[in-house]
Amino acid sequence: MNAPSQSARPGIGLVVLLLLLLCLWGLSWPLLGGHLPLHPYDGRAVQTLSWAEGKYYLAVLLLEAVMLIAAVRLVAARWSARLDQQIVTLLERPTRAYAAIAVIGAVMALNVGMLVVGHRSLTEDEATYLFQARLLLSGHLSAHVPLQAYAFHQPFFYLVSIDQWSGYYQWAHPALLAIGLVVGSPWLTSIFMLALTVFFSGKAAEEYSGEARAGVVAALVVALSPLAVLTAGTIHNSNPAAACAAIALWGFARLNKRMDLGAVLAVGLSTAIGMHVRPLDQFALVAGSTALLFVEHRREAVRLALRLAPAGAIAVLGIVVHVLIHRVLQGHWEHGSMTVPVGAFGFGKAVVGVVHTPANAASLLLTDLAHVMFYLTGTPWVLLLLAFPALRLVPGKKYVAPATLVVLYSSGYFLFGGWSVLHTGPVYYNALVPVLAALVAMAAVDAHGSLKRWAPTRRVVPGFLVVQVAASIVFFWPTQALEVARASQAAHRCEELTERSQLNRALVFVMEGNEAHDSWVHQAPLPGPGFDDPILYARFPHYLPQDEESPLRFARWVAAEFGRDRETFLALCLKTSKPALARYDLKTGKIEEISAPSDMQTETHRSWLDKNIPAGPWTPLPDEVRERILREIR
């Protein structure tokens, strides 16, 4: 075999330039990369382009340009007819390829869940999902409200009656997590959802383009996507939302060509479940796909309606179940939980209590989409591929449907105002990943075809895909994995401390610090519905009067209800963001012992305890205080 020619290899000058740019990027990593956290509940993940992002993108683009040149030259030198034949063989059975790629994505998500996230809930949303999942396993939809309700209250709880509460999320995702709890871990649910997303993203791209090559590329894009994989390491409900979206998109693309019972069932079931997960996401994609079908087949609208009728019937049955759940929970047919005013369509400050104007909404949306496209593959160069259909350098008809869905989906976020939507990152756009992957895959295949006349220039696309993978490994995964791992550790410092202390049957009070934390849940973990956890965590509510007696009095009220057979501790998360744990006698106010990390001064925590948690009289919970708590929870 002949060795590749010297001209086909990257020159020494190219290597030197690559190393220099790599050093430049490495020096800017702590400053620039840290401004791009993936997880939404970080103080820096608001929808604004920070001053550092433009420089960071520019540094990445320059370095990847050199990597692209080197990769193209290398691919051109190493490509062989045998490799072409292996690809042809792979594409003869694309379904097997999709399944194999789905396994790759699942393994990556499994490792992210274990090594990065640590199988912890990162937000109060996720804690509420688990609460509802455990409710389902107990055979109930609500739980008894304890007397000291505010010690265990979550923002996403609501009262269904005077003495019963529940989580306000739709129940499909908690049901899926309940299955995961039964088989061993709720995080298995997210991993399986990613596998479904990968598989059906490939099938959807194949249906859109008519080529198995596009399907394989789309499946690879999703399986290797930092956005999809890092999110699948959590139990966020955008994971099943993405899976339902991918399944529905494949079904609609299939039904656009022929009647297929499997596609009908796929559309119906995915819509029924998706409307119980993230209803606005699923509705935007399903309604848009349905409208596109009727436009495409407007001359045979009746026949198309009959074709879609079974899917519609299945979806309606799912919505009926949704209504029945509220009937069981609240005793009436009105929609209950999600009428909590977390968002609304429209503009103006009065809509949701935050500024939501067309100009503000447009800037936030464009910023989000920029982040999503970067997080989709870990590199901004992916936009180059989309330039081919955008500039009509390739046939564009097959791009109309997925591109229209992106526009419709984005329009929904443009019109919808809400605190959660206005102040979160790209995780909320996870349901859009299958559509974006299809667009990128079709553009990659078409770009490869357009360049085939200029061999070995046509190797630009394989080289480009090599760079995509390499760039995400070098530029994206280290920074984002570290960010998510750090947020996960910060959110559960107190739990780690109690585990190290080997507590058993303990009631642990968590006091939050005053600094801005990286996660919403740097506070008491949510107990199970029966309040029978081995370690029961309680929090000090913010409504307590500002006097030195109130914290201890409240702790005694909680201990009187739940601490009769438990040891009682105070877990302090102070300004240092490092916890200390004190064994505390609630009757005498005496601190028996205190533990803290080796680099902490325990006297600091002891003096804080002496100042803020003095002994006080044992008093019962006044009726007016309990009524105030219940009113605020309502």
**Which pLDDT tens digit goes with each residue over 126-183?**
888 999 999 999 998 888 888 777 788 777 787 777 778 888 888 999 999 999 999 9
Q: Which of 602, 597, 599, 607 is nearest to 494 (CA)?
A: 597
pLDDT for 317 beyond 80: yes
**Three-class HEC string of 461-492:** HHHHHHHHHHHHHHHHHHHHHHHHHHHHHHHC
DSSP letter for each residue of 555-586: HHHHHHHH-TTSEEEEEEE-TTS-EEEEEE-T
Angle, CA 82 vertex, CA 79 and CA 84 arms, to 5°: 70
DSSP letter for each residue of 6-27: GGGSPPHHHHHHHHHHHHHHHH
Mean pLDDT value of segment 86-109? 84
pLDDT for 383 beyond 50: yes
Query: Between 549 and 198, whose confidence is greater?
Result: 198
Q: What percent of the chain has pLDDT over 90?
A: 20
pLDDT for 106 beyond 90: yes
Burial of 585 (0-12, 13-18, 19+ CB in 10 A): exposed
Query: Between 631 and 582, whose confidence is greater?
Result: 582
For residue 227, what are its two tokens? 């956005």
3-state secondary structure of 345: strand
Q: Which of 30-44, 433-447, 477-491 has the highest mean pLDDT?
A: 433-447
Q: Which of 565, 595, 421, 436 is nearest to 505 (CA)?
A: 565
pLDDT band at 184 (very low <50, low <70, confident <90, very high): confident
Mean pLDDT value of segment 499-506? 78
List the chain domain ranges. 6-119+185-487, 493-633
Mean pLDDT value of segment 70-94? 68
Tens-digit pLDDT profile for residues 518-568: 444 455 678 888 888 888 888 776 666 555 566 667 777 787 788 777 777
Residue 91, H or E segment = helix 81-92
Query: Between 601 and 375, whose confidence is greater?
Result: 375
Residues 6+ apart with CB under 8 A from 465: 217, 220, 444
| Distance, first Cα to last Cα, the chain | 77
**Spatial separation of the C-alpha atoms in residues 438 and 430, rounded to whole Å:** 14
Mean pLDDT value of segment 349-378? 74
pLDDT for 413 beyond 70: yes
DSSP letter for each residue of 257-288: TS--HHHHHHHHHHHHHHTTT-HHHHHHHHHH
For residue 567, what are its two tokens? 């040891």
pTM: 0.83
Q: Which of 28-37, 370-379, 579-588 has the highest mean pLDDT?
A: 370-379
Q: Which of 433-437, 482-486, 545-549 has the lowest mean pLDDT?
A: 545-549
Q: Which of 567, 490, 572 is nearest to 536 (CA)?
A: 567
For residue 380, what are its two tokens? 């901004």
**Residue 209 C-beta-side C-alpha neighbours within 13 Å:** 28
pLDDT band at 40 (very low <50, low <70, confident <90, very high): very low
Q: What percent of the chain has pLDDT over 70?
A: 63
